[in-house]
A and B are shown apart, each in its own frame.
Chain A
Amino acid sequence: MKIKKGKLASFFGFKSQNQEEPIEKNDLPSIDKPIDFGEDAHTGRPAFTDPVIAAFIATGHVADTPEDLSESSTKTEDNRSVELEEQATVAGSFNEKVADIDLETATQEPDMDYENEEHLLVSFSKEQLALSENQLDEFMRVCPGAYGVLISTVDGHELLYLVKRDIPIHKISTMNSSLLALGESIARESSQKLCQFVILENSDGRVVSLRINDILMLTCISSKDTNLGMLLSVGRNTAGDLMKILS
């Protein structure tokens, strides 16, 4: 059975909804193929296909687009430089190409649609991603009926996923972020405390979403072959392990 794996580049870049090809397990994500960030919200044309940009993403540098920031940011220059410094420390070492690539991104047109900005401002090391991928592998192994497991951000960006069927990961990560947020709001309004799971029980399967931490969530998709209790239990354990890995 073919398993599709997808992961965010070690530091940045989230894929478009159409980008679900398997990624080789190299030290750095492959830069042979330009990363498709989907279409521009206004023109419908691809947002970024430049291989230089793809290389920039692959090396994991936290870049700014100064025009973007100057026109849209309300933060001070001091705060921004501190934030960048912190991100650089977390993101790891870079090669000298970064300076040139930085210049490339600095000359881009400011993007009106923030969702087309190609980098997340959270970053994880290769080790963290590798360990997370192991967790997802283990989840799929333990739950035989599971055909999809996905780590995504709470605002709808997929980070790492493992799927056995052709399902739209980008849509699922976006929609589940809404669902989890709604579930948590309903819990609050019902005078109940922390929402633990949001469960979609369907005629031939189930989708379970739960939080990993403040910014990440886990979605587990399975057929009816996996018992609900097992799915919840393994899902919770996996989320707990991921919380330790991805903190």
Chain B
Amino acid sequence: MKQIKFIFTGPPGAGKTTAIATISEFPPVSTDVFSTDGLSKLKDTTTVAMDFGQITLENGQKIGLYGTPGQRRFKFMWDILIQGGLGLIVLIDNRRPEPLKDLSMYLDNFAEFIEQTDAVIGVTCMDIKDTPTLDDYQEFLKERGQIYPAFAVDARSKDDVLFLLNTLLTCLETS
């Protein structure tokens, strides 16, 4: 059975590496290095190449989980990692100043990929900052003419991350 490939993306600090580590059945391959710029005020390390993990579904289907670096200067890695991918999970950190603008940036940069596959959106840290609300996210997507499921998630919660994965799988099956 061929491995399905899902890609996690989103701004730095949104929880991509954490989410993959939460559900991967083996310790994920990570390429985290020390942050040397302003990001270090938020977190000590940053992903500069990719995260890789894997999960096996009940029917034996393996899903490869690939995490991208968050910074736009690593866009070349985004283009490499989406090759052969079947779906995108966008994690947005609600604590950031303009999360909707962040979402817009990632949807724009992955537009071609999403058009051929599908996407779900996970909004992290809504317990710390609850605006924009999920309704705001849906309204924003509607204005863009896009419909993707958006949920509040905790990247450290296995149930939450699996829920995102299952939602994406369902979207792919029904599209």
List the interface of chain A (C-beta within 8 A of B).
Answer: 14, 41-42, 68-69, 71-75, 80, 110-115, 117, 119-122, 153-157, 170-171, 174-175, 177-179, 181-182, 184-185, 189, 214-215
Contact = CB atoms under 8 A, between A and B. Distances in A.
Interface in B76-126: 76-77, 95-98, 101-102, 104-105
Nearest to B45: A155
Nearest to B34: A215
Contact of B35 (A75, A113, A155, A171): A155
B144 to A, nearest CB: 15
Interface of B: 11-13, 29-43, 46, 48-50, 69, 71-74, 76-77, 95-98, 101-102, 104-105
Contacts of A117: 37-39
B97 A71 contact: yes
A155 B49 CA distance: 10
Contacts of B32: 181
A154 B101 contact: no
A184 B32 CA distance: 11
Contacts of B77: 178
Nearest to B13: A72
A119 to B, nearest CB: 7
Contact of B31 (A75, A157, A178): A178
B37 A115 contact: yes
Given A72-B41, A112-B101, A181 B49 contact: yes
B79 to A, nearest CB: 12
B32 to A, nearest CB: 8
Contact of B96 (A42, A72, A74, A154): A72
Contacts, number: 114
Nearest to A114: B39
Contacts of B73: 115, 156, 170, 174
B155 to A, nearest CB: 14
A178 B35 contact: no
B97 A72 contact: yes
Contacts of A72: 13, 41-42, 95-97
Contacts of A185: 29-31, 49
A189 B30 CA distance: 10
Contacts of B41: 68-69, 72-73, 75, 80, 121
B105 A42 contact: yes
Contacts of B49: 178-179, 181-182, 185
Contacts of B105: 41-42
A177 B96 contact: no
A153 to B, nearest CB: 4
Contacts of A177: 33, 48
Contact of B97 (A110, A174, A175, A215): A110
Contacts of A157: 36-37
27 contacts: A69-B41, A71-B97, A112-B101, A113-B71, A113-B72, A114-B37, A114-B39, A115-B72, A117-B38, A117-B39, A119-B38, A121-B35, A153-B36, A154-B33, A154-B36, A155-B39, A155-B46, A157-B37, A170-B73, A174-B73, A177-B33, A177-B48, A178-B76, A181-B33, A182-B31, A185-B29, A214-B34
